Structure 1
Amino acid sequence: MQTETEVNKGSSNPNVSQPATGRASHVAATAPGQIRVIKRNGTVVPYDESKIAIAMTKAFLAVEGGTAAASSRIRETVASLAEQITATFSRRMPSGGTIHIEDIQDQVELVMMRSGEHKVARDYVLYREEHARLRAAKAATVENPEPDAEFGTIMVAMPDGSQQALNMVRVRTLVEEACAGLAEVDPEEILKGAMRNLYNGVSLDDVNTSLVITARTLVEKEPNYTYATARLLLDKLRSEALTFLGVTQQATHQEMAHYYAQALPAYIKAGIELDLLDPELANFDLDMLGQALDHSRDDQFTYLGLQTLYDRYFIHSNDVRIELPQVFFMRVAMGLSVREENRNERAVEFYRLLSSFDYMSSTPTLFNSGTLRPQLSSCYLTTIPDDLHGIYGAIQDNAMLSKFAGGLGNDWTPVRSLGAYIKGTNGKSQGVVPFLKVANDTAVAVNQGGKRKGAVCAYLETWHLDVEEFLELRKNTGDDRRRTHDMNTANWIPDLFMKRVFDDKEWTLFSPSDVPDLHDLYGSAFEQRYEHYEQLAARGEIKLSKKVKALDLWRKMLGMLFETGHPWITFKDPCNLRSPQQHVGVVHSSNLCTEITLNTKADEEIAVCNLGSVNLAQHIVDGQLDKTKLKETITTAVRMLDNVIDINYYSVDSAQNSNFKHRPVGLGVMGFQDALYRMRLAYASDAAVEFADSSMEIISYYAIEASCNLAAERGAYQTFDGSLWSQGILPIDSIAKLQAERGEKYIEVDTSRTQNWDDLRARVVAQGMRNSNVMAIAPTATIANITGVSQSIEPTYQNLYVKSNLSGEFTVVNPYLVRDLKAHGLWDSVMVNDLKYFEGSVQPIDRIPDELKAIYRNAFEVEPRWLVDAASRRQKWIDQAQSLNLYIAGASGKKLDITYRMAWFRGLKTTYYLRALAATTTEKSTVANSNLNAVSSSGGEGSVSAAAPQAPQASAAPQAAEVPKACSLDDPDCEACQ
């Protein structure tokens, strides 16, 4: 070759002949103008197809000569090949973008080979290699005394406006550190991809962005790239925080072993000066705590987890994050240990637990621990009184509690119904719905301190005369003044109603102003009083009442649940009959996420719960549950949760009153699905149900033991005497109370056990309990993201999908599935495309072995009965409840009817969201036999137990066009407990 082949280098060489005819001579005007080309010197120019044609013409002429016959063939060939190259880039980037000059030259080689021009292509490759060598030599002698051998010199724009050569040694170090210890992750692939997007004058931030974006695009190819992406993102975080704190401008991961100890005291000092941190933090031994920070734990983050922390958890000043991950965990730990006698040692203990991901505090605790207003509690439960002053006082309480990031559960049952008499005005009430509209708008207006939308759930008992209108609050049709589009709603259902559904009997609706004592009654006492009021209504002594068929009302509940996602189904009697605190009050509702079951009393007690979750996956060692480690985790976790009660900032006095008297906490779990993967168990299996039972029994045992030991150290909670605890009745024992009150015909619950409960029961009676309630399983969507495990007790949503939340969109690949497919030699680009096509499902992919198909069923392929059975086995050990989402594919009235009857029959206290897919959306038209989770009432898999009363078929729920109708799997509106 005699001439240089410079594709898209700028102006063409006047000494080189132009193509005489053909498309290439005028194509520049029609090429995609949005595409730009990064040249080797870093400048960016518009894409110009004519320059590609010129370069290719040179290559052909150098090989074939310039005879007339050859020139004619060359012109036609070049025009065709150049057009193919432009079409390729247009398909790749329909909306425009940037490509590197090397990408274009790669494509030139490819099209020449495909067209059979092998000799020209060979000479072209040799030519490129020679000129790459010459450019490197020239750069070494002229442009830069020490250029990078592969990428040359790139000038970077510094914050002060100056330009410096990009330190490629450091960039290589960052990428190699990011990939260290990760199987099948190639640092060169990240580096080459990122460098192609850089140009002279690029900012330092954009260098990091290029590295991060390149790495994250590789996640679907190999899940370990999510860790590499997180580690590359850390470079930006380190630069931002360390520069602000005056520690250093940049630091690699290994250098943080030194700089973390310096960063902590600088951070505490700056945070106090900026009025962001509690000045008491300065009184810790910051040198000791700084030395305890473990920089290696930064390597645990997935990209989603770290980006979530950066966007929403790290403390910032003028939008500059001044926290780093290990400093963040230490700040939370310091805030939780501030009242401990040996505060420094406890802070280190708490830090090590949090930073190990073995346990994670709930979002409000992570937000606010160690700050000037440490509102650390997750959720608040209130009862709304039936008077105007009390109603608006309760709405004001909602606003104050929501302001500091608390989720709310409101019991609205006492408020009189539509048409009820108002003595003060001699008029008639507008009912509960207009006040619910005000509560809805308050939640929108007070958006949890600007960090996320306000979140509230309204509860109403099924006998309330306004219940039929309550069911329609989330509909998008009807009078919008009687709709609450932003507020969650839940049915608070007495057992008597469910019995009448099973027996197909009538149900009577009342105004609470006529039957006020029903609100505080449950079990047989409720049944007797309710039937008495029905007799009064039949005699005309209660004027305002309405008879309906219980089954019709039940069908409407389920229809609205499918159509709007609300109201949720929760059960009053098991929540009360199994409550340890029934001697001092009544559970009138659950909370925002249906896992808290605590007493409330209008104007006196707002129930408060403080949450945290054990990462169950972290406690599976060699395929078995590590009970020793689990005990250590739970002992520290319960202490941290108990500390929250004393440290917490209470914006409402009645919340402080309630929390100090009863001291409830809610220890839960997350990563249940990950634990099953590590044990090689399918979610839809008897073994998984047994594990749900046995693991929750161990957690229950250690949690009760930890609270009992705290009582010996710190004293029992004020209202311990008279509680079920004081009577030696533990959660497993309270099932007998529910069975006795409900009747054996209507309940089937496993009561087997394996631990020495007699010994623990005796210790509880003798020493007391530090906390009235100890366990509750919250949704954990956000903290599960942070720790990189499946949320709560949920099955895997999909094996490959894009998760969207407030931090953006993230490719999520099931790493356990990828590992197994690799072991079988099945992980390749075709498999990736199949998973995309089948929306993350492995069931329709023939070459995947059946054993893997069983383990990797997604949430809609796990029959609902497995979810209910596992939840039932957990519920017997829990003194509160669990946020149980139900997934139903091919949803119909019949399926919903059977599933929710089964939930009640199995003794569950509450259910949470319904994730429903309409029958028309559950299968690909080209896929045969891809049945999703079928529920049958005729026996076999998915059927209700033969012992259960058989359910008549409910009317089919509306098949809505947009499904699922409930909130998304990571709905930012539903995070108060997470």
Structure 2
Amino acid sequence: MTNGRLKTVNVARPEISRNLLAKRYLQNNEKTWDDVVMRVARHAGRKTGRTREFFEAVYSGKFFPSRMAYMGTPYPFASSCFVFPVDDSLMGIMGTLTDACQVQKYGGGTGYNFSHLRPKGEVISTSGGEASGPVSFMGLYHNAMEVVHRAGKKHAAQMGILNCDHPNIMEFIQCKDKEGAYWTFNISVAVTDRFMEAVKNNRDWDLQFKGKVYKTIKARDLWEYIVQHAWHNGDPGVIFIDTVNRNNCYPEPIEACNPCGEQMLPPYVSCNLGSIDLSRFAMDGQVDWKGLEEVTRTGVRFLDGSVSAAFWPVAKIQERTRKFKNIGLGVMGWADMLILLNIPYDSGDAVELGEKVMKFINDAANDESRRLGGGKRKNTTLTSIAPTGSISLLAGCSSGIEPVFGIVTMKNTYVGSFRGLHWIFEDIAKKRGFYSEEMVERIAKEGSVQNLDVPSDVKRLFKTAMEIDWEWHVKHQAAFQKYTDNAVSKTVNLANSATVEDVDKAYWMAYETGCKSITVYRDGSRQVQVMDAKDVSREKCPNCNAILFMKDGEQVCVTCGYKPDKSGRVSEVKPMADEAAEQTVRRRPMRVNGATYRIETPMGSAFITVNHDSDGNPFEVFVVIGKAGSELTGMAEALGRLVSKFLKLDGRVGGKERVEMLIDQLSGIGGGRSVGFGPNKIRSLPDAVAKALMLHMGMVSYQVEGKDENGSVVQMAMPLPVKVGGNGYGQAPLFLAKKADICPSCGEGTLTFEEGCKKCYSCGYSEC
């Protein structure tokens, strides 16, 4: 090591996770990573005689193709990305849905532009009825895909696009306002140069269909509506469709892309993807350009051979994909490469190198395609930066071109769970003498090294995604896009405190720097009760203070059920039971007293509020944990509601006895993990609720009174270590308890949103 720079060969990399292999990649009688790689290499090399070359590229960790679980099987479904047309006829709509279901069944992601569908309310000449509009047919596709799990275990992934001049554009933009609505879809608005010019100059903008103008609005009003919704919950993204078609390698126009946005495709075309681990080519503080060229050429040959050997469930897709021979060679491990080269992610040097690296790869790929084509470029597209999902976990490198997501990890094995550091950070810390177990504990708790006694140059290198300003996210995306045939899938991460103006600036910067699309995600924004910016006014529920949403044309609270009656008076929330049952529930007083207890759980820190009545008996319980808007948060809210309802019921059982019954039922409920030891052990969130009730009733004592991140007084029940891991599957950033959601595959709280896609750091599950 010299001045913090490391020889890649001297740094211990994470091993291939056996459980990740078993869960996602091993087929039939396969038992080892060697078996998987040989099957994959034979898939792409059987017609070219390059099996050994492909085996060495994948086995060395330098190149990973997507769809390895399918390659070399009886149905080698090797494509990840698909685009379908949606024509303005019932036969066209249903035909596309049928084909899309076939693709989703095998794990492919599908995208559509719904702009060819006539507006809502338009008269249908053949039947005399009225058209229901694009959003309603998106609902049809969504409902169908809810029951068609991708590859039998993944949830569906779709992209819905609508042009910025369609008469139903406002309805489209707000279709995902309600948490969980259209959850199988990502949505994006296709905006033109003419629209962006109209926004800049505050011009009028016609909403039209086939030449008929339905409404004229200010372009800037529409733009602000897009931006405000993106700030609110991440949807919609924006596709700069004229930029896409100015750089279109296909002989026909493009209108849509796949769910994560890295593949802008004509209809009935798919794409095979693969990624180079850039961290393998940082040697002695320099880029190994020769090695990078070799693996680039191998990657092109592999993906080209994979197209020839692949299976498609729809004949027209097979015909057109083999015609265009389009492939998508991309990268991952970019953040790790920068660290090995001693270059901070948020620096001009990093952006400059990113542009240089991608140009080098694109040029080498183009040259290799010409060699394969006898002097003529064989493949319509060659490069694309896709979400690396589980393959980056398999490779043990950072995702795509994203910054590092976490510094501390939990390594799980058959004999127990062990805390570990990012592989490069650990090497630097030990060689430079600042490593300590206390430091690891603090990083595990805080998810950052910025407030620790760590050398300043190391702090600069190890900023995490949320600690890097949004401008650098966009700059990196633009740098790689400049020399990428297709597009770049990337999430522009924003802090929860980011404003609508920040999103506006990010969208404009992406457009002006040549990005083909942009997606932002403001931390904690996908929730019902949003933390508003100062310049946004939202009407709140008088009962529970949640935001009121529009549903079926009237305001309702989706949290407690409140809605104003037509006379303007406050209507009571109707319970699910009958009138007699309603009278058995004690009404909440205007004011109650209570305490909030911070209790560490296997899913992270839970803040459990217990309020009591005038007799001192617990009256209601609120449970807050995890990232706002996540499955975990919803489950916690449901648990709190049920406990509160039970506490409020009148009956022969007294208040204290009622609490004791709850404690008896909730105590000791366990899951896959626990935190703490002896009397301090917490096995699950319900177990933590029982502990909070015991603390409130004085059955056990708490240790200290402290303050949370917002300065509010909370009871610190016990200083327990946060433990996040996962069933022995792999590695999970420990601070994910505060940021992640529950994985639908393994059930761990390590499902994160990166590269425009959700992936699990525990088991490798990916929605892409």
> Could you state the TM-score of these two structures normalised by the residue count of structure 1?
0.52
Report what 2:294 is aligned to.
Answer: 632
Task: State whether residues 669 and 793 of structure 1, in contact with CA within 8 Å, keep that contact through their aligned partners in structure 2.
Answer: yes
Deviation at 1:811, TM superposition (A): 6.0
The SS at the match of 2:494 is strand
- After TM superposition, the structure 1 = structure 2 runs for residues 332-351 of structure 1, keeping only pairs within 5 Å, are 332-340=40-48, 343=49, 346-351=50-55
Q: Does 1:962 align with 2:628?
A: yes
Q: Does 1:392 align with 2:94?
A: yes
Q: Does 1:707 align with 2:409?
A: no
Report what 2:265 is aligned to.
Answer: 598
Q: Does 1:697 align with 2:359?
A: yes
Q: What do residues 523-578 of structure 1 show as CA deviations (whole Å, max 9, x unaligned)? A: xxxxxxxxxxxxxxxxxxx3x51222222222222222233332222210111011
Superposed CA RMSD in Å reads 3.0
For 1:402 and 1:977, how far apart are their aligned partners in 2?
A: 11
For 1:608 and 1:977, how far apart are their aligned partners in 2?
A: 17
- Compare relative contact order (CA 8 Å, sep 6+) and give the higher one, 1 or 2: 2
Q: Does 1:778 align with 2:386?
A: yes
Report what 2:652 is aligned to.
Answer: none
For 2:312 and 2:197, how far apart are their aligned partners in 1?
A: 41
Identity %: 27
Q: What do residues 492-542 of structure 1 show as CA deviations (whole Å, max 9, x unaligned)? A: 22122222222222322123xx24xxxxxxxxxxxxxxxxxxxxxxxxxx3
Report what 2:148 is aligned to.
Answer: 446
Deviation at 1:593, TM superposition (A): 1.1
Query: Aligned in 2, Cα 1:591/1:676: closer, same or farther, shift over 3 Å?
Result: same
Choose which of 280, 286, 306 in structure 1 pairs with 2:18: 306
Report what 2:36 is aligned to.
Answer: 328
Query: Aligned in 2, Cα 1:854/1:918: closer, same or farther, shift over 3 Å?
Result: farther
Q: What do residues 223-256 of structure 1 show as CA deviations (whole Å, max 9, x unaligned)? A: x9x98xxxxxxxxxxxxxxxxxxxxxxxxxxxxx
The SS at the match of 2:257 is coil
Query: Aligned in 2, Cα 1:777/1:956: closer, same or farther, shift over 3 Å?
Result: farther
Report what 2:196 is aligned to.
Answer: 498
Task: State whether residues 232 and 526 of structure 2, in contact with CA within 8 Å, keep that contact through their aligned partners in structure 1.
Answer: no
Deviation at 1:893, TM superposition (A): 0.5
Deviation at 1:972, TM superposition (A): 4.4
Report what 2:516 is aligned to.
Answer: 909
Q: Does 1:437 align with 2:106?
A: no
Report what 1:657 is aligned to.
Answer: 319
Task: State whether residues 279 and 336 of structure 2, in contact with CA within 8 Å, keep that contact through their aligned partners in structure 1.
Answer: yes
The SS at the match of 1:448 is coil
Which amino acid counterpart does residue 275 of structure 2 have in structure 1?
S
For 1:888 and 1:860, how far apart are their aligned partners in 2?
A: 7
Poorly superposed stretches of 4+, deviation over 4 Å: 801-804, 808-812, 917-920, 953-961, 963-967, 972-978
Deviation at 1:691, TM superposition (A): 0.8
Report what 2:469 is aligned to.
Answer: 863
Deviation at 1:918, TM superposition (A): 6.6
Q: What do residues 410-429 of structure 1 show as CA deviations (whole Å, max 9, x unaligned)? A: 12111111112211112321
Query: Aligned in 2, Cα 1:916/1:852: closer, same or farther, shift over 3 Å?
Result: same
Tell me, which stretches of 5 or more residues in structure 2 are unaligned?
Answer: 1-8, 528-533, 540-545, 548-626, 630-738, 742-750
For 1:965 and 1:898, how far apart are their aligned partners in 2?
A: 27
Report what 1:553 is aligned to.
Answer: 222
For 2:451 and 2:102, how far apart are their aligned partners in 1?
A: 51
Choose which of 820, 827, 833 in structure 1 pairs with 2:441: 833
Which amino acid counterpart does residue 15 of structure 2 have in structure 1?
T
Task: State whether residues 389 and 759 of structure 2, in contact with CA within 8 Å, keep that contact through their aligned partners in structure 1.
Answer: no
Q: What do residues 405-453 of structure 1 show as CA deviations (whole Å, max 9, x unaligned)? A: 2111112111111112211112321101121111112222221221322
Q: What do residues 122-167 of structure 1 show as CA deviations (whole Å, max 9, x unaligned)? A: xxxxxxxxxxxxxxxxxxxxxxxxxxxxxxxxxxxxxxxxxxxxxx
Task: State whether residues 593 and 912 of structure 1, in contact with CA within 8 Å, keep that contact through their aligned partners in structure 2.
Answer: no
Q: Does 1:488 align with 2:190?
A: no
Report what 1:353 is aligned to.
Answer: 57
Report what 1:269 is aligned to.
Answer: none
For 1:910 and 1:429, how far apart are their aligned partners in 2?
A: 30
Aligned residue pairs: how many?
Answer: 541
Deviation at 1:466, TM superposition (A): 1.4
For 1:405 and 1:906, how far apart are their aligned partners in 2?
A: 33
Tell me, which stretches of 5 or more residues in structure 1 are unaligned?
Answer: 1-223, 228-299, 516-541, 601-605, 713-766, 921-952
The SS at the match of 1:374 is coil
Q: Does 1:891 align with 2:498?
A: yes
The SS at the match of 1:335 is helix
The SS at the match of 1:368 is coil
Q: Which has the higher helix share?
A: 1
- After TM superposition, the structure 1 = structure 2 runs for residues 474-873 of structure 1, keeping only pairs within 5 Å, are 474-476=176-178, 483-511=181-209, 514-515=210-211, 542=212, 545-581=214-250, 584-600=251-267, 606-712=268-374, 767-800=375-408, 813-838=421-446, 840-845=447-452, 847-873=453-479
Deviation at 1:912, TM superposition (A): 3.6
Task: State whether residues 369 and 376 of structure 1, in contact with CA within 8 Å, keep that contact through their aligned partners in structure 2.
Answer: yes
For 2:372 and 2:479, how far apart are their aligned partners in 1?
A: 27
Deviation at 1:976, TM superposition (A): 7.4
Query: Aligned in 2, Cα 1:607/1:824: closer, same or farther, shift over 3 Å?
Result: same
Query: Aligned in 2, Cα 1:421/1:375: closer, same or farther, shift over 3 Å?
Result: same
For 2:71 and 2:21, how far apart are their aligned partners in 1?
A: 15
Task: State whether residues 488 and 592 of structure 1, in contact with CA within 8 Å, keep that contact through their aligned partners in structure 2.
Answer: yes
The SS at the match of 2:752 is coil
Q: Which has the greater radius of gyration?
A: 1
Deviation at 1:954, TM superposition (A): 8.2
- After TM superposition, the structure 1 = structure 2 runs for residues 250-329 of structure 1, keeping only pairs within 5 Å, are 302=15, 305-316=17-28, 322-329=30-37
Deviation at 1:772, TM superposition (A): 0.5
Query: Aligned in 2, Cα 1:414/1:476: closer, same or farther, shift over 3 Å?
Result: same
Q: What do residues 86-142 of structure 1 show as CA deviations (whole Å, max 9, x unaligned)? A: xxxxxxxxxxxxxxxxxxxxxxxxxxxxxxxxxxxxxxxxxxxxxxxxxxxxxxxxx
Deviation at 1:616, TM superposition (A): 0.7
The SS at the match of 2:523 is strand
Deviation at 1:850, TM superposition (A): 1.8
Task: State whether residues 158 and 259 of structure 2, in contact with CA within 8 Å, keep that contact through their aligned partners in structure 1.
Answer: yes
Q: What do residues 351-373 of structure 1 show as CA deviations (whole Å, max 9, x unaligned)? A: 111111100000x2x01111111
Q: What do residues 248-292 of structure 1 show as CA deviations (whole Å, max 9, x unaligned)? A: xxxxxxxxxxxxxxxxxxxxxxxxxxxxxxxxxxxxxxxxxxxxx
Query: Aligned in 2, Cα 1:887/1:559: closer, same or farther, shift over 3 Å?
Result: same
For 2:421 and 2:231, how far apart are their aligned partners in 1?
A: 29
Report what 2:660 is aligned to.
Answer: none
Report what 1:900 is aligned to.
Answer: 507
Q: Which has the higher strand share?
A: 2
Q: What do residues 360-409 of structure 1 show as CA deviations (whole Å, max 9, x unaligned)? A: 000x2x01111111111111111111100000000001101111121111
The SS at the match of 2:188 is strand
For 1:657 and 1:957, how far apart are their aligned partners in 2?
A: 51
Task: State whether residues 79 and 270 of structure 2, in contact with CA within 8 Å, keep that contact through their aligned partners in structure 1.
Answer: yes
Report what 1:280 is aligned to.
Answer: none
Deviation at 1:818, TM superposition (A): 2.4
For 2:501 and 2:283, how far apart are their aligned partners in 1?
A: 42
Q: What do residues 14-42 of structure 1 show as CA deviations (whole Å, max 9, x unaligned)? A: xxxxxxxxxxxxxxxxxxxxxxxxxxxxx
